[in-house]
Chains A and B, each alone.
Chain A
């Protein structure tokens, strides 16, 4: 059997790998179609590991070593075996899913910390402020008071629903095909929360001035300046339905004709 690849290496380094590099045998014949397809699948799997374990260098290194052993059998030298390479890839994907469960648990811990610090804490502070009618320093019927409550409850709603969105996405269980769903936009939990809060405030600003009218069930979110608890729903809507809010914001974006 001809040899197509002399060696498979890890790039940029063995300690911090991100890609498999297939070193072709000099003068090797044209690659058969099935070997080419298998190589593409290995490269795609390497990309999944690289994205999913971006922040976990040790796990990424270990998974790339497993990928290396697997690909080595499927491609390298004269004794390469495509069938073994294919079965190895399938086993490697199962190993990746097992490792991803631990990554998911770590993400859940991060989202839960965010839920407590950025969600429950401001939510509680808002209620204390509301029940004590501003401790005599603020007029509970003033717009300023509503905006202060909104400033606490919008991030609270966003944090609670960002956590909820993650949990709901993970509820169906993890399979190899769904791995990248763990972090579809590739934001870290804190980055995702900051972006969601930022967009929530832009959304709230537009709602406050009736630039758009948005209802959730029988509630009109524009009323959050009169009913401050609706601010929680604004953050929540952005956290749970980010794409829908993005669509609303894009639709009112000024265009030149």
Chain B
């Protein structure tokens, strides 16, 4: 998964949380920080559209494509902000991923990508990843270029 896609996933998760009436302050602050950074540096990325439709895979793809074309992969500040948002969501509202049609595979891949802001060849420790259900992932080291699996 490209860093831009991982950022788009964290934006979609954040937007889904913001749409709720009872938003957790830590998530809200992390989301506002990330969106302000992106609006300031990558104004052509349609974050507002994604905010309106966090379930839309199309909007996620457009945001990811625009961010990628602008070289967001090198923007450590944006990557760090996205990682912070992702961690806040994993801590306080892991179930939100399912609300927007994402599963553990997407979250794992995004989490790995955001943890590995440098893109080095060494392994990336997956930070605590949870999703609504029985599985709480911790203590796993992933390849920096980890891609979700496909069927054989």
Contacts and interface: CB of A to CB of B under 8 A. Distances in A.
Nearest to A66: B137
A176 to B, nearest CB: 14
A13 B151 contact: yes
A227 interface: no
Contacts of B103: 61-62, 65
B121 interface: yes
A204 B105 CA distance: 53
Contacts of A98: 134-136
A62 B140 CA distance: 14
Interface residues of A, number: 39
Contacts of B17: none
A174 to B, nearest CB: 13
Interface stretch (B7-15, B39-47, B142-150): B142-150
A12 B152 CA distance: 6
A190 interface: no
A61 to B, nearest CB: 7
B138 interface: yes
Interface of B: 103-105, 108, 112, 121-123, 126, 131, 133-146, 148-152
15 contacts: A8-B149, A10-B150, A11-B152, A14-B148, A23-B152, A62-B131, A66-B137, A66-B140, A69-B137, A72-B142, A72-B146, A73-B142, A76-B143, A77-B143, A91-B138
Interface of A: 8-14, 21, 23, 56, 58-59, 61-66, 68-70, 72-73, 76-77, 79-81, 84, 87-88, 91-92, 94-95, 98-99, 102-103
